[in-house]
Structure 1
Amino acid sequence: MAISLNNRLSPQVSLTPQLQQAIKLLQLSNNELEQELAKAAEENPLLEFEPNPEIESNLSQSNERIEVAQNNWSNSSPVSQDDEDWVERHERVAHKQTLLEYLEEQIQLLSIPSQEQSLLAYLAGCLDDRGYLVDDLESINAEIGAQLMGSARSAMERIESGLKILQTLDPPGVGARNLAECLSLQIDRILHEQKHNADEWALAKRIVNTHLNQVGSKDWPKIKQACGKSQAEVMKAVECIRRLQHNPGGQFEREHDQWVLPDVVVKPSRGKWVVESNPSAKPRISLNTEYARILNENGGKKADGALKQKMLEANWIVKNIAQREETILKVAQEIVARQQTFFSMGAVGMRPLVLREIAESVNMHESTISRVTTQKYLACPLGIYEFKYFFSSQLSSEKGGAISSTAVQALIKKIVEGESSTKPISDTHIAKLLNDQGYVIARRTVAKYRESLRIPAVHLRKE
């Protein structure tokens, strides 16, 4: 055997402590940032921190909160340029991301044709609140199969392939058709990501697929006999199963709404909508000038080594906070530039937008844009919105056009508003009306959009 040495250059990214801190601060919400800076000031005497009175008052005045749903389409027209009273009303309730919105966000990032993305979005709309696919594939094929024709594969093959892709998304287990498949999908993910305890997880998968009923009835002897394993091995596998999530969508169930302080404010100016930083959200942190002066005067002494390190860390935080504000404002400006019609017309004017578009414009990675748009909010005359709200999947039209999923929600709202109170329109009828306009929308997607808009079911709207 010949042994040789080869020189190879390979790119490696080394995350310095300063870069790690910048990434961490960027993904924090204003409330979380406030806590992080307070902790940093306690540990570093060179930092001066003043608590934000806006955040403190929000936390203490829970009984005076005004609820504004993030994705609630408003019929009210924007305020005039002279009426800026809305700018002062920063206390708002943040909308909690739904399972469907979370899946649509991931679908946008997949490197697949737009037609396949539309199919995945359709399948995501067929999931129930647990994340299970309750409609059988034959029913789905009967509903949309005609729109999927024209490729080398049959409509059913494309649906089955789309479901497999959907099942690879987070949360693990989503897209399953029953509990056994849900648990099996999670085990497959675990086996792929880790190598230790592989035998236990492999046995757990076998039990899930063939003896799940016996697990429920605790019939351990029957499982042990069928699998040819010892009692101890079976119990270890069962313990693995118990650690799995039976309800993947459970984390998206509505909880108590969260208060937020907008990072930026959107205002009308000379016929356009422009973005400004919200001064009330600006972190109040700076260097302690007295300690800095002492350090500068005694910088050459070895005894000041620890103080120098504290000064270095304090400078990092101050600079990273400034960089965080600059990045948030830059991303907000790009979002608003692309969604001008939204601020003038409401959700019906929302255009399709993906993270990649913003990333390319500001010369940043998509993962950075994802951090910037999570738990960052803008205030405008229509309400308070998380940055992520302005990213929506594209639904293709048979006429060749395109519309965002957010705009579809606005259309659903408009259809319901125009219905007869004695004869309200069902979700199936709404889906048909949208299909007649060229937009292929599943009935279950209509139902989910209706629920997110907080519109009651058809039998509750009938007078």
Structure 2
Amino acid sequence: MALELRQNLKLAQKLVMTPQLRQAIRLLQLGRLELTEALHAELEQNPMLEEVPSLLEQPVNPEALNAEENPYQAETAFTDRVKGDDPATVAEINWNDYVNSFDSDLSFSRETPPADAPSQFDFISTTPDLTAYLQWQLTHLDLTEQDILLTTFIVCNLNEHGFLEATIEDIRAYGQCTAEEAEGALRLVQSLEPAGVGAMDIRESLLLQLDRLDYYDTLPYQIVDQHMPLLETQNYAKLAREVGTTQKKILEAIAVIQELTPYPGNEFSNRQINYVIPDVYVYKIDGEFVIQLNDEGLPQLQLSEEYLKLLKQRSTGLSAESKSYLRENKRNAEWFIKSIDQRQKTIYKVMESLLKFQRDFFESGPAAMKPLILRDVAEDIGMHESTISRVTTNKYVHCPQGIYELKYFFSTAVSTPDGDTVAAEAIKTRIRQLINSENPAKPLSDNKISELLSKENITVARRTVAKYRDQLKILPVKYRRQR
């Protein structure tokens, strides 16, 4: 059989991901922060898009305001550049008059500062991190070049908790020094603030802090130095026997240790905390739940009227290339606005479906959670499961029970002996309740929790209880026991 090239004509149907469809899918799965950035980026790139002005920015007709209706007429003008006293002319204020410009040759003649003079923004302070704080302290000490070299190496090898990640051998190899010189430089760093910095682990950090507080060779120091495992497991009865004292004195020493900081470097962390902003609110008004989308902070988009006028006019002087460019951006802007609107409507529909399926949760809390999967919501609102997955990712709802991610409302089912099902999240809530109400001296084991749940007609194996407990970030029984 000879090999040859042929041309065949074939009709086929297939789904093609157009750039517009890709954009709509991407917008659907963006969180609120990413969505805000995407809106501002599109505003910068597409000239046909503009932000809808707020009510305060909309023009006001001065003639429609009289002295009684305009309380601003009695105010004095801020600068000479303000023409009139009505609010419409406030935008003409020269805000340069109010800028605290830096001028080393300040005079009363309103001299213009040099172009290369530093701005007031150059003096905005930031919170120093741990490395900068320690180096600042070292600059005030009379150190030799060798000490500066070794201490800088030590400071630069501290992690975010303030613990040293290098060994004495590493310090010796870097500074080409003796072990005594390396240990001396380390003790110098450990003498700085905050107390406990430069330690190898939590135990050494606590010992350094106790030594700084003059607790050396006392009961708290002895407990941390020699009985750290018993302290971690809170086995105070055995700790009292090992030390040879009463449990009352042990508790007093524990109170001193609890005042210390296990991770001294954490207070200098510059990590930004991103607070959760709900995408949707659920209110209970007169016994009925009301859903409201959160549009606050999101720029409202519209097509530019100026460019639309240019496209409508026949004799504008624009070239064919310019008109084609504007038409293309107009189509992209219309699709972008439509995609944003579709995203908001989809979130509303999904939240409406979740409210229908999990109404008991919104009424009573997590203990009333019901089993729910993506397919249930997808069939309810007539969408694909992948769409529901994208909508519920990184989206949050504020309801009477608190703030929850939309993914939270989907929970697997656990069968009961009588044929019913219980949501896994409801079981987790019940486990947390049992542990919170346990006797600290005799905490509940995973096996005991499994037995208590079986009495409530919830059959859960011990391994499953341990898995749920780990997901709840609850310590095992030996670490919860207080004797």
- Compared with structure 1, are the counterparts of its residues 281 and 9 closer, same or farther at alpha carbon in structure 2 (3 Å cutoff)? farther
- Compared with structure 1, are the counterparts of its residues 48 and 425 closer, same or farther at alpha carbon in structure 2 (3 Å cutoff)? same
Instruction: State the Cα distance separating 1:353 from its structure 2 match.
Output: 0.5
Q: Which residue of 2 aligns with 1:362?
A: 381
The structure 1 residue matched to 2:351, chosen from 332, 336, 342, is 332
User: What are the residue-to-residue correspondences of 1:26-425 with 2, within 5 Å?
Assistant: 26-49=28-51, 258-280=274-296, 282-298=298-314, 302=320, 303-425=322-444
- Compared with structure 1, are the counterparts of its residues 321 and 9 closer, same or farther at alpha carbon in structure 2 (3 Å cutoff)? same
| C-alpha distance in structure 1 between counterparts of 2:273 and 2:413, whole Å | 28
Instruction: State the Cα distance separating 1:462 from its structure 2 match.
Output: 2.5
Q: Which has the larger radius of gyration?
A: 2
Structure 2 counterpart SS, 1:325: helix
Instruction: State the Cα distance separating 1:332 from its structure 2 match.
Output: 0.6
Instruction: State the Cα distance separating 1:347 from its structure 2 match.
Output: 0.5
Structure 2 counterpart SS, 1:369: helix
Structure 2 counterpart SS, 1:259: coil
Which structure has the higher relative contact order (CA within 8 Å, separation 6+)? Answer: 1
Q: Which residue of 2 aligns with 1:18?
A: 20
Structure 2 counterpart SS, 1:22: helix
Structure 2 counterpart SS, 1:279: coil
* Contiguous gaps of at least 5 residues in structure 1: 53-62, 64-254
**Alignment-mate amino acid for residue 354 of structure 2:** I
**Alignment-mate amino acid for residue 342 of structure 2:** Q
Matched, 1:439 2:458: yes
The structure 2 residue matched to 1:430, chosen from 449, 463, 469, is 449
| C-alpha distance in structure 1 between counterparts of 2:273 and 2:371, whole Å | 27
- Compared with structure 1, are the counterparts of its residues 257 and 410 closer, same or farther at alpha carbon in structure 2 (3 Å cutoff)? farther
1:37–1:49 contact (8 Å) kept in structure 2: no
| C-alpha distance in structure 1 between counterparts of 2:35 and 2:53, whole Å | 11
Structure 2 counterpart SS, 1:267: strand
2:52–2:302 contact (8 Å) kept in structure 1: no
- Compared with structure 1, are the counterparts of its residues 306 and 5 closer, same or farther at alpha carbon in structure 2 (3 Å cutoff)? closer
| C-alpha distance in structure 1 between counterparts of 2:308 and 2:466, whole Å | 60
Structure 2 counterpart SS, 1:456: coil
Question: What TM-score results when the alignment is normalised by the length of structure 1?
Answer: 0.52
- Compared with structure 1, are the counterparts of its residues 461 and 366 closer, same or farther at alpha carbon in structure 2 (3 Å cutoff)? same
Instruction: State the Cα distance separating 1:257 from its structure 2 match.
Output: 6.8
| C-alpha distance in structure 1 between counterparts of 2:466 and 2:274, whole Å | 25
| C-alpha distance in structure 2 between counterparts of 1:50 and 1:444, whole Å | 56
1:416–1:425 contact (8 Å) kept in structure 2: yes
Instruction: State the Cα distance separating 1:339 from its structure 2 match.
Output: 0.7
Per-residue Cα deviation, 1:155-182 (whole angstroms, up to 9, x for no partner): xxxxxxxxxxxxxxxxxxxxxxxxxxxx
1:31–1:260 contact (8 Å) kept in structure 2: no
Per-residue Cα deviation, 1:424-457 (whole angstroms, up to 9, x for no partner): 1012221232234443434343233223334333
| C-alpha distance in structure 2 between counterparts of 1:304 and 1:344, whole Å | 57
Structure 1 counterpart SS, 2:349: helix
1:426–1:458 contact (8 Å) kept in structure 2: yes
Q: Which residue of 1 aligns with 2:118?
A: none
| C-alpha distance in structure 2 between counterparts of 1:37 and 1:281, whole Å | 11
Per-residue Cα deviation, 1:21-49 (whole angstroms, up to 9, x for no partner): 11110011111111112221121122224
Structure 1 counterpart SS, 2:278: coil
What RMSD in Å do the two structures reach over aligned CA positions?
3.0
* Contiguous gaps of at least 5 residues in structure 2: 55-126, 128-270
The structure 2 residue matched to 1:450, chosen from 469, 473, 477, is 469
